[in-house]
Amino acid sequence: MTNASGTVASLAGAVKRYGALTALDGLDLMLHRGELVALLGPNGAGKSTTIGLLLGLIRADAGRVELFGQEPQRIDARRRVGVMLQSAMLPATLSVGELLRQAMSYYPSPRPLQESAELAGITDLLQRRYAQLSGGQQRRVQFAVALCGRPELLFLDEPTVGMDIDARQKLWAAIRRLVAEGCAVVLTTHYLEEAEALAQRVVVLAKGRVISDGSVEALRSYVPLTRIRCLTDLDPLAIARWPNVAEVTREQGCLQIRTEAPEQVLRRLLDADLGLSGLEVSRAGLAEAFAELTRADAPQQEVA
């Protein structure tokens, strides 16, 4: 192992089947201390199964799963873990403070209640009953429950669903702070900009296997194209014949060009149309790389 900071959890050749369906097909994954890993993949790729195995909620049919060098079913291993699941309804009639105190009691040396509340941005909600909170506020309480035990490994399953932009930014800041403290974080999300903003490492799953594992940069370079958008009267068909132009599309008068050599195409474009306006140049984002990757993985579907 090259990473000197240590492995906190690992799956090796993990296989999990549900009847005829193979949810995980020999998955290998290592999580390291202080690392934020985004787990991406289309629905049914095996993200939930992976997390279920690491938390000891289900057992693998084959392969090995370890949490801090132990079986995840061992409560000692899970005392070092914090969890925020996608759909968990906390007891509605308890107050936020009571819920936090209850979760803190499970851990050997929890964070002080006030500190957890501050991190999750819920200090003003402590007296309120859980049922009275909005969806976004409830998610923040669940986040506080996840971090209150001073975990060394934090699982966040779609943490920002139902949050407004402000709340999402605050949660991101809190996650960064936890990572800076040395906490490893496993994040699953449908918002690719979330993975882009937070993750040092992005693992893409498809059909129960890891199809890509690397930095955000590395994943982005999967799609080396840059996108140029502008308002112009030029003929899209003519531009499509220029060198280095991969694709030209036109929607509502706005021309969109995808290219590997934006500098050359731009120079020619500006020369050709002096009245060109509304110019926008952007690199391919994670979303495009992700679409490319998962499309490449499922060619049969396109044929069908």
Partner 1 sequence: MDAARIVSLQPASDAMPWRRVLGAYVEEARAECLRYLRAPGFMLPVMLFPTMFYLLFGIVMNHGGNTDAARYLLASYGVFGVMSPGLFGFGVSLAMERENGLLTLKRALPMPPAAYLLGKMLMAMLAAGGVIVLLLTMATLLAHVPVSPPQAIGLLLTGMLGVLPFCAIGMFVGTLIKGQGAPGVLNLIYLPMSFLSGLWIPLPMLPVALQRIAPLWPSAHLQPLALDALGAAHVAVWPHVLVLAGYTVAFTLLAARRLRRMG
Residue numbers of the site for partner 1 (CB under 8 A)? 1, 3-8, 10, 33, 55-57, 66, 68-70, 75-76, 78-81, 83, 85-94, 98-99, 101-103, 105-109, 145, 149-150, 152, 155
Tell which residue, 164, 296, 298, 281, has the closest CA to residue 228: 281
* Smaller CB separation from partner 1, 74 or 267: 74
Residue found under tokens 């999402």? 168
Whole-angstrom distance, CA of residue 182 vs CA of residue 114 = 20
Whole-angstrom distance, CA of residue 301 vs CA of residue 295 = 9
Q: Give the shortest CB-75-to-partner 1 separation in angstroms.
A: 5
* Smaller CB separation from partner 1, 57 or 234: 57
Q: Give the shortest CB-194-to-partner 1 separation in angstroms.
A: 21
Q: Give the shortest CB-157-to-partner 1 separation in angstroms.
A: 10
Q: Give the shortest CB-107-to-partner 1 separation in angstroms.
A: 7
Q: Give the shortest CB-66-to-partner 1 separation in angstroms.
A: 7
* Smaller CB separation from partner 1, 73 or 249: 73
The CA–CA distances, whole Å, from 116 to 142, 145, 230, 254 equal 11, 8, 47, 48
Tell which residue, 215, 218, 293, has the closest CA to residue 41: 293
Question: Helices marked H in the chain — which ranges?
Answer: 47-54, 75-78, 96-104, 113-120, 135-147, 165-180, 192-198, 216-220, 236-240, 262-272, 286-297, 299-303
* Smaller CB separation from partner 1, 152 or 194: 152
Q: Give the shortest CB-103-to-partner 1 separation in angstroms.
A: 7
* Smaller CB separation from partner 1, 160 or 212: 160
* Smaller CB separation from partner 1, 102 or 256: 102
Q: Which H helix or E strand runs over 62?
A: strand 62-67
